[in-house]
Structure 1
């Protein structure tokens, strides 16, 4: 379909076509070619496409067009016309960057809102009119509670990565936000997968929606070469260090199941002479922004992440993804390896699997409908003295050296927070998640972002999008000048 259709054929306004041309793209991806015309018609839409297929541009471009065509005579401060909700801070910043990039030749304004940073700059930005608000649910409800934002003027609602929001426990927050919106509005629900829960949510939000699905349910892209190395847990750190050094990988994203494990793996890799950083829910937003910026700039070769980052990271031409541990939920494997092989590029995903993870591996293979190749590691033998008992003893010794807050359980990592995520779930169960791991704010009402980074020094003023005026909409940590073209944005 995309071989014969151009963006100009989709009926988008000239300022948008000009911005698209500056990114270097002329043909829409399948999800864009199907979704954009339906959104422009003004109806509700339920859309599914696996990650990396251009889903973000599939809704930002037609939204910008619709808002340009129907400009109100009077815009009120803090009263957005479009609300886009996403599950994680990183994804929120990336969607906001897309809005800013595609809308740079339009008069529309936008801002981004998420937790973990000082709320006051966001309050200041809301004192001006804003057309498009990109937000995480928890911080959005904080603003609603303080009456700093008015959702009564929302014309278009987007739930992006809706399945992930449900997985992270945001359903209550979503329902609270829906209750604050006007009844008459356009609703767009975008998701990497369609589950029974997603269809149930869609029935409660969407009104006679159109439906677009460009890939089979829960499939992994064929552009990613997948392999498995069978290895016991106590040898995994030495093996991954060997593979990265011997293969000469300069940019590799590694997924661990726990925050605790992410920290320790990053420390091990640094000790072995590699540049590595960890990113997870217990890290401050400033630390997460620095780590991601260093990885994108090539200053950090290895980024070790938990699943909180599986949907929120977008790195152009990322060549390698490694599953240090398999996820407890098979669908999360698809999202993890979807960080590579994006926008038509090829990639590779390597999984280190020990004997206790075989059941998880079988579950993943059932979901993706194929057997992943088992491959031995050439030229590597476990270091002498490595054993499960030695590994466990070292883990306990390390735990005992970790500083603890008074009353906190043993085993917490150096970045604070509880240890719930550090205890792996039994195979077949969903991961245990701390409030921080669930993202901006869980459904039980606890707000992990309150009280964090409230001093001016920790307000993250170095390029943080939430502290910029309405319309700035650029992601935290970005050094790219405003309005500069960014290739592969349409590959999101």
Structure 2
């Protein structure tokens, strides 16, 4: 597979030219394994982390097939449907479809909540080649008879594990029941819990299974460190880190929406440009924050796990876990926002004493010991400043606390769109 190039797939000329313009020459592992079977009409079950190139792995064969189809999509229908769990991921997927279509006339539509329905309804009324949607808004439009799904010939369920986490199982099953019976299907997931496996069994027809890395492992060149410090010292330590040299663009993860707002507000008070992004924000506010982050207007984006799914911004040098995730698998998704496309990255976890058990769960799935050994869960005694931290100003004793205990790098792997 190492000598395989995109030219070997025989993709339609507009797609090949778009890939050349983007300087895409060799496919990533997931692309090398998934594109050819889909070009041959096979269903795909893909196990791949974010950043491994899975969007192109399903977008390129779908575009190739659509360009070979005669005529146009019928009014109120779509030829291809891509379901995504979050609005940010849906926007990113549509951007990639448009980029890979090159100059070809491929009609697209984005259907998601948080924005006006009128433009979406108008676009769907003409019929579209590619429809990218989140489940809730799509079913809303289906129930209002603004779109029919019985003409969908290509369907992709992206980040299936996150779909289940967000309670979309029944909506997804309902959507799938409306699709054309002779469709070609693909499902991608970072992990394969029993619920995802069961959905795959009912959704896919004799699929080709492709897997590019062991589940829940770190696949990029990321230097990981963990710092044990008192919870009240986190604010000061975060401000020190974000004000340091080498931090060009950083994502900070908070556990809750309210916590994300608080962290962003504190960073602003400490003189560091930051914005929060989470599910309580309107879609236009989320997109504005993301654009400000992408264009460098703000240095730090503070996010919750769900809101961060699908964020693919180049040049993220640091990921900071301000709070440990409730699910250890989310740690892998979080730090995967840095070290993309072959670059290096740094991930720092600020661990309070009551989060040590969560840190141990992270270490178990990553196979890395990030906190110093011999610390009983819940009995750690950090050296943080108990009087400063969360409500105080950065500096003082807290800035000296919680130096990294151990540094690890994941194996190198280049990432693509």
Task: Provide the TM-score with structure 1 as the length reference.
Answer: 0.76
Q: Deviation at 1:248?
A: 5.0
* CA distance in structure 2 between the partners assigned to 1:226 and 1:374 by the alignment: 13
Which runs of structure 1 show a deviation greater than 3 angstroms over 4 or more consecutive aligned residues? Answer: 381-385
* Superimposed CA distance per residue, residues 39-89 of structure 1 (whole angstroms, 9 cap, x where no aligned partner): 101011101111111110000001000111222x45311210110000000
Counterpart contact for 2:73–2:79, Cα < 8 Å: no
**Deviations 1:2-56, CA, capped at 9 Å, x for gaps:** 3x11100112111111000111121111111111001101011101111111110
Mapped contact 1:227–1:374 kept (Cα < 8 A): no
Question: Do residues 245 (structure 1) and 222 (structure 2) align?
Answer: no
Counting matched residue pairs gives 387
Tell me the equivalent position of 1:63: 62
SS of 1:148 mapped into structure 2: coil
Instruction: Describe the SS at the equivalent of 2:41.
Output: coil
Task: Judge conservation of contact 2:72–2:127 (CA < 8 Å) in 1.
Answer: no
Counterpart CA distance in 1 for 2:48 and 2:261 is 32
Cα distance between partner residues in 1 of 2:72 and 2:356: 60
The answer to whether the aligner puts 1:136 opposite 2:134 as a matched pair is yes
Residues 434-473 of structure 1: per-residue CA shift (max 9 Å, x gap) = xxxxxxxxxxxxxxxxxxxxxxxxxxxxxxxxxxxxxxxx
- What is aligned with 2:269? 271
> For the aligned residues, what is the CA RMSD?
1.9
Give 1:254 shift: 0.2
Q: Which residue of 1 aligns with 2:30?
A: 31
1:491 paired residue number: 416
Runs (5+) with no aligned partner, structure 1: 376-380, 392-488
Query: Match for residue 422 of structure 1?
Result: none
Distance 1:75 1:206 in 2: 24
Seen in structure 2, the aligned counterparts of structure 1 residues 385 and 361 have a Cα distance that, compared at 3 Å, is closer
Unaligned 5+ segments in structure 2 are: 374-382, 393-413
* Partner residue in 2 for 1:92: 90
Q: What is the 5 A alignment of 1:363-378?
A: 363-372=361-370
Partner of 1:226: 224
What secondary structure sits across from 2:226 in the alignment? Answer: strand
Give the whole-Å Cα distance in 2 for the aligned partners of 1:53 and 1:20. 17
Q: Which residue is equivalent to 1:193? A: 191
Partner of 1:45: 44
Counterparts of 2:30 and 2:205 in 1: how far apart (Å)?
21
Per-residue deviation, residues 140-180 of structure 1 (Å, max 9, x unmatched): 00100110011110001100111110111100110111121
Q: Is the 8 A contact 2:232 2:384 kept in 1?
A: no
Alpha-carbon distance in structure 2 between the residues aligned to 1:108 and 1:96: 12
1:143 and 1:177 map into 2 onto residues whose CA distance is 12
Equivalent pair of 1:57/1:490 in contact (CA under 8 Å): no
Q: CA deviation at 1:387?
A: 7.6
Distance (Å, rounded) in 1 between the aligned partners of 2:384 and 2:193: 42
1:426 aligns with none
Q: Secondary structure at the match of 2:126?
A: coil
Matching residue of 1:259: 257
Aligned residues of 2:220 and 2:340 also touching (Cα < 8 A) = no
The corresponding residue for 1:356 is 354
Task: Please say which of residues 185-194 and 157-166 is displaced more in the overlay.
Answer: 185-194
1:232-274 CA distances to partner (integer Å, 9 max, x unpaired)? 1111111101111133523110000011111111111111111
CA distance change for structure 1 residues 27 and 38 in 2, over 3 Å: closer, same or farther? same
The equivalent position to 2:327 in structure 1, one of 329, 340, 347, is 329
User: Alignment partner of 1:127: what SS?
Assistant: helix
1:10 corresponds to:
9
1:234/1:387 contact within 8 Å kept: yes
Instruction: Within 5 Å, give how 1:301-340 maps onto structure 2.
Output: 301-340=299-338
Q: Secondary structure at the match of 1:172?
A: helix
> 1:382: how far off?
5.7
Helix, strand or coil: the match of 1:151? Answer: coil
Partner of residue 291, structure 2: 293
One of 69, 75, 78 as aligned partner of 1:80: 78
Query: Deviation of residue 184 (structure 1)?
Result: 1.5
Q: How does 1:108-127 map to 2 (within 5 A)?
A: 108-127=106-125
Q: Offset at 1:193? A: 2.1
> Under a length normalisation based on structure 2, what TM-score does the superposition of the two structures give?
0.89
Matched, 1:163 2:161: yes
SS at match of 2:258: helix
- Which secondary structure state, in structure 1, belongs to the residue aligned with residue 150 of structure 2? helix
Alignment of 1:21 with 2:20, yes or no, is yes
Task: Give the Å deviation of 1:383.
Answer: 6.1
Q: Which residue of 2 aligns with 1:107?
A: 105
Rounded Cα–Cα distance in structure 2 between residues aligned with 1:345 and 1:386: 36
Distance in 2 (alpha carbons) for counterparts of 1:138 and 1:354: 37
Q: Does 1:150 align with 2:152?
A: no
- Give the drift of 1:222: 4.2
Cα contact 1:85–1:136 (8 A) shared by 2: yes
Report how far residue 384 of structure 1 moved. 8.2
User: Who is 1:386 aligned against?
Assistant: 388
Larger relative contact order (Cα-Cα within 8 Å, sequence gap ≥ 6): 1
User: What displacement does 1:309 show?
Assistant: 2.5
